[in-house]
């Protein structure tokens, strides 16, 4: 698989990574596959998808434990990206904690769960509104100095919407400018996909101009862009898509032209090429600093997604994807 560099030239990863979240968090618990998810991690690593994206919050904690079991056997094959700063409370509410002492304890706990002595990329999941972000970031920088972490990243908060207006990602960019004064940012992680292109406006160029890597989260539109979901199929109550306006039967039907467009492009590339692969190949074309992290718990999809690194889209394909109608349904 093609290799890409993230931030400093020493951080090299396979062009397509693996998002480990669906193995333990976000989507329906009844669909989780327990230890069988490990096969997806191994399939991804075998295919050259070295970057494994996890977080202490996923599970919580069980996702890092799972990744740790895979790493125990083959740490050298993987680039481990995890996150701190978001916790799941007893009532399942998510809260930010950016206190320096907490961040240091969280890192030690992640290292234990991941069964490793160093995290390749430690990402701030969310800034804590009660703690100056420079203080949180300073503590994370000390973890680099201590040799527990190789590089630091920031997860962007959501793009602007009707309820949260503003220039695309302006809050995140202000935050990035502040933390850059303290310690270099090696990667930014934010949602980016064919149906959620907002990061293209300002965030992606901000990263490109500074040699900062960009991890494209939710690159398959939480599964929608793969064409394997059916309008009206319904989602279990613990699946984030059950509450998501884009996953109502009406909006899934309204957004079918996006999937149809990806299907048309895929068909031109021959049998076996899928809309998911086209969606990932399109992301790779957004810049040499972009690394999509498609999430899956299935080995066959991990393999399929990794193979998208070998799919070369033509100018005609790109133009057709650019012309697709904007997705309907607000993200919040
Ligand atoms: N920083 C943040 O705040 C943040 C937020 C969200 C996500 N993320 C990161 O981004 C990663 C990706 O996001 P995501 O997992 O939410 O969304 P995604 O990658 O857009 O889509 C994942 C969904 O697509 C399905 N899928 C994957 N490959 C497929 C294929 N080839 N064909 C058909 N279906 C396929 C998966 O099914 P199965 O689950 O059944 O395999 C899963 O339901 C996460 O794992 C996480 O690491 C970060």
SS3 of 226, please?
helix
Q: Please confirm whether the linkage preceding 235 is cis (ω < 30° from 0).
A: no
Q: Which two tokens stand for residue 131?
A: 């703690």
Q: Are 28 and 235 in contact (CB under 8 A)?
A: yes
Q: Is 58 in the pocket of ligand 1 (CB under 6 A)?
A: no
Q: How far apart are CA 19 and CA 38, in angstroms?
A: 13
Ligand 1 neighbourhood includes 85 CB (under 6 angstroms): no
31 CA closest ligand 1 atom index? 40
Alpha-carbon distance of 288 to 291, in angstroms, equals 8
Asked whether 296 lines ligand 1 (CB < 6 A), one says yes
| pLDDT, position 257 | 96
Of all protein residues, the one whose alpha carbon is nearest to atom 8 of ligand 1 is 217
Across the chain, mean pLDDT equals 93
Q: Is ligand 1 within 6 A of the CB of residue 217?
A: yes
Residue 298 Cβ contacting ligand 1 at under 6 Å: yes
Q: Residue 40 CA: which ligand 1 atom is closest? A: 41
Question: pLDDT digit string (tens) for 278-308?
Answer: 999 999 999 999 999 999 999 999 999 999 9
Distances (CA, A) of 112 to 109, 115, 148, 162, 277: 5, 5, 11, 42, 35
Q: Which atom of ligand 1 is nearest to the CA of 219?
A: 20
* Best residue for ligand 1 mutational test, from 31, 218, 290 (most atoms within 8 Å of Cβ): 218
- For the cut 90, the answer to whether the pLDDT of residue 28 exceeds it is no
Q: What is the full DSSP assignment across 33-77?
A: -GGGHHHHHHHHHHTT--EEE--TTTTTTHHHHHHHHHHHHHGGG
Tell me the per-residue pLDDT of 101-153, one tens digit each, with 9 for 90 and over. Answer: 999 999 999 999 999 999 999 999 999 999 999 999 999 999 999 999 999 99
Task: Reply yes or no on whether 58 is catalytic.
Answer: yes
Measured CA to CA, the distance from residue 295 to residue 302 in angstroms comes to 8
């Amino acid at each position: 698989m093609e290799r890409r560099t993230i931030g400093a030239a020493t951080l090299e990863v396979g062009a397509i990574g693996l998002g480990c979240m669906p193995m333990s968090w976000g989507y329906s618990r009844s669909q989780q596959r327990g230890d069988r998810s490990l096969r997806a991690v191994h399939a991804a690593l075998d295919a050259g998808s070295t970057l494994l994206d996890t977080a202490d919050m996923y599970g919580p904690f069980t996702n890092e434990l799972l990744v740790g079991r895979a790493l125990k056997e083959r740490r050298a094959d993987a680039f481990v990206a995890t996150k701190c700063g978001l916790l799941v409370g007893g009532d399942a509410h998510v809260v930010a904690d950016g206190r320096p002492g907490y961040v240091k304890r969280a890192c030690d706990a992640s290292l234990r769960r991941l069964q490793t002595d160093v995290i390749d990329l430690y990402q701030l999941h969310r800034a804590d509104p009660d703690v100056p972000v420079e203080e949180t970031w300073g503590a994370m920088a000390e973890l680099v100095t201590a040799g527990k972490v190789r590089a630091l990243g920031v997860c962007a908060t959501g793009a602007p919407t009707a309820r949260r207006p503003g220039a695309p990602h302006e809050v995140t960019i202000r935050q990035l400018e502040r933390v850059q004064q303290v310690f270099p940012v090696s990667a930014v992680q934010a949602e980016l996909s064919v149906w959620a292109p907002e990061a293209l406006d300002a965030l992606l160029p901000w990263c490109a101009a500074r040699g900062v890597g960009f991890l494209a989260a939710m690159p398959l539109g939480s599964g929608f862009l793969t064409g394997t979901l059916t309008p009206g199929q319904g989602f279990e109550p613990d699946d984030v898509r059950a509450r998501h306006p884009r996953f109502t039967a009406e909006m899934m039907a309204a957004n079918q032209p996006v999937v149809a467009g990806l299907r048309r492009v895929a068909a031109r590339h021959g049998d076996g090429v899928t809309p998911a692969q086209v969606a990932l190949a399109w992301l790779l074309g957004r810049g040499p600093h972009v690394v999509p992290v498609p999430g899956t718990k299935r080995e066959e999809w991990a393999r399929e997604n990794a193979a998208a690194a070998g799919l070369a889209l033509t100018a005609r394909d790109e133009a057709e994807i650019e012309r697709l109608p904007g997705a309907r349904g607000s993200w919040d």
